[in-house]
Amino acid sequence: NDSYTDCADLSCRLTADICVETGAAECSDNADNDGDGHIDCEDFDCQYDPNVSCPNHETSDATCSDNEDNDNNSYTDCEDFSCQQSPQVTVCEGNEITCADGLDNDGNGYLDCDDNACRYCGGSNPHVVDTCPPCD
């Protein structure tokens, strides 16, 4: 018992389809429908839903390759976490699809799991995409 209930419980959010905030209605109702602490377009579920338009977010090939910081978080294009993680973005490394396609999507000279956006084992905060081998 971890004192979290329903969609506020990480175990439920990872396994229950009802704990996902998606669709135009849920992503524009000013409510935290999935209980993760993020409302509408501030919720990654809404940002990464191809059927939802979230202005000023970097979640498309166009906004992730325009040399601009569209979401004003001080990161531009493929250096932006949103570009790396969005499943709709194919011009950057960082998600399960682009980290296993055999291409240097971000043009930095590193392919797939050799790219730090896909597999970074240094420092105190390692990051490994599911399609890459774990850190030793």
- Provide the Cα torsion 42, 45, 47, 52; round to 10°: -110
pLDDT digits 0-9 by tens, 28-86: 898 888 888 888 888 878 877 878 877 777 888 999 999 999 888 899 998 898 888 88
For residue 136, give Cα distances in angstroms to 18, 120, 132: 35, 11, 12
Q: Would residue 17 count as lying in a domain?
A: yes
Expressed as residue numbers, the domain containing 27 is 6-47
Q: Would residue 63 count as lying in a domain?
A: no
Q: How many domains does the chain have?
A: 1
Q: Is 20 exposed, middle or buried (0-12, 13-18, 19+ CB in 10 A)?
A: middle
pTM: 0.56
Q: Would residue 33 count as lying in a domain?
A: yes
- Bridge partners of 11, per DSSP, are none
Mean pLDDT of the region 87-103: 90
